[in-house]
Amino acid sequence: MLNYAGTPPLAAMAETDSRQLIAAELRSLIARIEISVRLVDAAMEPEDDSAILSAISGSTEIVVLDDVTPRYATVGAALNACRAELGNALQNLSESGNPA
């Protein structure tokens, strides 16, 4: 029998248990990133498309300045990169659990 007294919880777990815990945490992070991506996408959508389109098509002198979309696009790209890297980490973790 192993004595786990005084050992931090993660270090006290069996390797498969800690791998499962890490995988669950990675999945949780991916889900939270996906929620953030949806929020950013929703924030980038114009509130009233018809007003913008009618203003643009009705006059050649209307200029729509949008200084928010580039920042949201940058944030979205960073979140997508994070999601991809976390997906890679999850894949590598699952592959390391399968003996060759």
- pTM score of the predicted model: 0.63
CA angle 22, 24, 29 (to 5 degrees): 95
Residue by residue, DSSP assigns 15-61 as HHHHHHHHHHHHHHHHHHHHHHHHHHHHHHS-S-HHHHHHHHHH-SS
Q: Is the pLDDT of residue 39 over 70?
A: yes
pLDDT at 86 over 50: yes
Mean pLDDT (whole number) for 74-79:
94
Domain ranges, ordered by start, for the chain: 14-70+80-91
